[in-house]
Amino acid sequence: MKVLSNIALSMLDLVSVREGGTVADALAIALRTAQHAESLGFTRYWLAEHHNMAGIASSATAVLVGYVAGGTQRIRVGSGGVMLPNHAPLVVAEAFGTLAELYPGRIDLGLGRAPGTDQATMRALRRDRTESADDFPQDVAELQRLLAPAQPGQRLIAMPGAGTNVPIWLLGSSLFSAQLAAERGLPYAFASHFAPGLLLQALDLYRGRFRPSATLAKPYVTIGVPLIAAPTDAEAEYLASSTYQRVLGILTGARRGLEPPVENFMAQRHPQERAAISDFLAAAVIGGPDTVHAGLSALAQATDADEFMLVCDVYDPALRLRSLDIAAAARAA
């Protein structure tokens, strides 16, 4: 089992628009957060693709990857992920191939199997092209071919893209992508930051069926970890109420921007609401330094993950950076 100090730290950003703030504010906060994560030695900074969702400004994922990569120097930047049913593989290969040429050795391409939006928006994204999650394996294979060196006689070539070998990750919250990542010998990221129920089963499946590839000699796992840290457990729980409000909005279909924290938010909720929020955030680590160290260590022991992908939605941007400081200190302790 890995000890916490041997686990890489990274971050996934939904680019939440704060209540009272603007999209431009959210984009600037994302860049500042990435720069801070880089200063702490984080391995990568990923942006999530979502469409037609109030309070989420990460729809143009490739554009944001370029924005963050251009404002940082060393940290890897990528998608967590591009929702492949929404896009033609050639377009994705060209976009990320361009990014790889601009920022060589720093770009990741995480791929999701779900559309990450509603059916009407998915149809608007792809127009009259019929696409479903069932096409995911062949789309992944096509992307792999487009990003690999062009072969003699190959008619369809991504330009830019061919020969960049942008690292492809498969993302998922079920067993499907775990099995596909194992079969293809690709790194795997489990979305335990919002769907932790199948985490251990998916990791066991991935590791048990993994086939070494030219890309990866042995399994590599990152897991999503909601994190809210503060000097005390009480303050962390208070700050986490912004995340609780966001989760409740997701569960009830009443999405809004990221809202300010509220005292005793969970105590004011119906027991069924509290249980639903707790299930959604079952992998969360919320607390002061000792609690964060204990929580991250417990996740390390339970999952043997190679990397933690932190999701840190704190309303005050400065206190969000402080959360990352505490997580980095816990890892180093």
Distance CA 78, CA 325 (A): 22
Sign of CA dihedral 47, 36, 311, 28: negative
In which band, very low, low, confident or very high, does the pLDDT at 128 lie, cut at 50, 70 and 90?
low
pLDDT confidence bin for 86, thresholds 50/70/90: confident
Residue of 168, 131, 134, 129 whose CA lies nearest to 148 = 168
Number of C-beta neighbours around residue 305 at 10 A:
23
What mean pLDDT comes out for the span 236-265?
95
pLDDT band, residue 121 (cuts 50/70/90): low
Q: What is the pLDDT of residue 130?
A: 55
- Domain membership of residue 89 (yes or no) is yes
Task: Work out the number of other CB atoms within 10 angstroms of the CB of residue 290.
Answer: 12
User: What residue type is 105 in one-letter code?
Assistant: G
> Does residue 127 register a pLDDT over 50?
no
Largest CA distance in the chain: 65
- 190 forms beta bridges with 172, 223
What's the rounded mean pLDDT across residues 19-36? Answer: 97
Whether 176 is covered by a domain: the verdict is yes
The answer, yes or no, to whether residue 211 has pLDDT greater than 70, is: yes
Phi then psi for residue 285, to 5 deg, are -120, 115
Q: Is 12 domain-assigned?
A: yes
What does the pLDDT read at residue 52? Answer: 84
Domain-located, residue 53: yes
Please report whether residue 286 resides in a domain. no
**Tokens standing for 292?**
């964060």
pLDDT for res 50: 87
Question: Is residue 327 within 8 Å of 286, Cβ to Cβ?
Answer: no
Name the pLDDT band for 2 (thresholds 50, 70, 90). confident
Q: Is residue 289 part of a domain?
A: no
The set of residues, in sequence order, having a beta carbon less than 8 Å from that of 57 and lying 6+ positions away, is 15, 16, 17, 23, 26, 27
What residues make up the domain containing 66? Answer: 4-226+305-313
Mean pLDDT across the stretch 290-318? 97
HEC per residue, 272-299:
HHHHHHHHHCCCCEEECHHHHHHHHHHH
Which amino acid is located at 130 in the chain? Answer: T
pLDDT for 255: 87
Percentage of residues in the chain with pLDDT exceeding 70? 94
Read off the pLDDT of residues 149-179 as tens digits, 9 standing for 90 and up: 999 999 999 999 999 999 999 999 999 999 9
Structure confidence at residue 129 as a pLDDT band (50, 70, 90): low
Rounded to the nearest angstrom, the gap between the alpha carbon of residue 105 and the centroid of all alpha carbons in its chain is: 19
What is the per-residue pLDDT for 125?
57
**Distances, alpha carbon 78 to alpha carbons 7, 102, 162, 236, 268, in Å:** 19, 13, 18, 28, 38
Contacts of 125 (CB under 8 A, 6+ apart): 51, 86, 87, 115, 117
Total of domains in the chain: 1
Give a yes or no: residue 247 inside a domain. Answer: no
Label residue 117 by pLDDT band (50, 70, 90): low
The encoded tokens of residue 274 equal 């509290």
CATH code for the domain of 182: 3.20.20.30
pLDDT at site 156: 94
Q: Taking the CA of residue 179 as centre, how many other CA atoms within 13 Å lie in the half-sphere pointing to its CB?
A: 6
Residue 198 is assigned to a structural domain of this protein: yes
- C-beta of residue 185 within 8 angstroms of C-beta of residue 271: no
